[in-house]
Amino acid sequence: MELKDMYGKVMTGTVTDLNKDEAFVQIEGNTFSLELTELEETPELGDTIAGFVYENQAHKNRMTVDLPTVMPGVWDYAEVTNIRTDLGVFVDVGLVDKDIVVSLDDLPLEHSEWPKKGDRVMVKLEVDHKGRLWGKLADLNLYMQLVRSANDTLKNKDEESTVIAIRDSGTFVITEDYYLGFIHINEQDGPMHIGQHIKARAIGSSHRRLNLSMRPRAFEEITPDAQMIMAVLEHARDGKIPYTDKSDPDDIKEYFGISKGSFKRALGNLMKQRKIEQKDGYTYLK
């Protein structure tokens, strides 16, 4: 077997040399170094050891008995460690001296939709014809095989989710409970990127997937009038103003420039969100 065909596999070899830090394991005439700190005891010459073999960042042949979290045919989440717009994104798969690249060919055309450093993406290892290791990004078809069937009993539930695919019409996510979710572009609160962690609310289900929204519930929205009242309170001495829903309409109109009805609705909105309270003829910032 050629050296390039060994990379990315678990192979068994024979210990042919040792120093104070490493064992040298030979497989079909090729030598791989193995850190002794990975072993419970120092091997002897002639011992056989099995491990994952690869070429590290310094182009040195390495063996590790601590298998990476992803393998050829084995999918798992890996954290993004670096980004190169001319190459792709680097992910940590558990190899101490090598991060794996997810090629730009696997990523969206728009760089703004690429995963960011610290995001987690699902990948598996692939080995090309030159023996180079790459991370293959999971696509929507794979997730379709993993997800649970969603139904309307989940409606109005908040779901922690990770962005997995972006389309012109909206964004697909996978929830922590492994439901497939879709957020229509009109239900998003801004641009999205692969690997982004979000919270969204279930608003229904269709085609086995959850329909989600990032827009606040009606009672959670802060109206312009409520925003104005919050700004006044934040700048008021002691965080209070001598106006409540019992105040004279003319006083409210003169001070805030809005009707008493609009003022009361704004106060009600803020009280439901527990941002303010009324007491002894004053409205207080909580």
Radius of gyration of the chain (CA): 29
CA atoms within 13 A on the CB side of 31: 8
**Domain shared by 152 and 209, yes or no:** yes
Instruction: Choose one of 97, 115, 138: the last residue of a domain.
Output: 138
From the number of C-beta atoms within 10 Å of its C-beta (0-12, 13-18, 19+), residue 204 rates as middle
70 within a domain of the structure (yes/no): no
71 within a domain of the structure (yes/no): no
69 within a domain of the structure (yes/no): no
Residue type at 178? Y
Q: What are the residues facing 26 on neighbouring strands?
A: 14, 31
User: pTM for the full model?
Assistant: 0.73
Instruction: Choose one of 189, 213, 237: the last residue of a domain.
Output: 213
**Domain shared by 246 and 280, yes or no:** yes
CATH number, domain containing residue 99: 2.40.50.140
DSSP 57: T
**d(C-alpha 125, C-alpha 43), whole Å:** 29
157 within a domain of the structure (yes/no): yes
- Domain count for the chain, please give it: 4
Interval 190-236: pLDDT, tens: 999 999 999 999 999 988 899 999 987 655 667 889 989 999 999 98
Interval 68-117: pLDDT, tens: 999 999 999 999 999 999 999 999 999 999 999 999 999 999 999 999 99
**d(C-alpha 217, C-alpha 82), whole Å:** 36
44 within a domain of the structure (yes/no): yes
**Domain shared by 83 and 130, yes or no:** yes
Instruction: Choose one of 120, 138, 156: the last residue of a domain.
Output: 138
Of 5, 6, 8, 25, nearest in space to 16 by CA: 25
Range of the structural domain that residue 111 is part of: 76-138
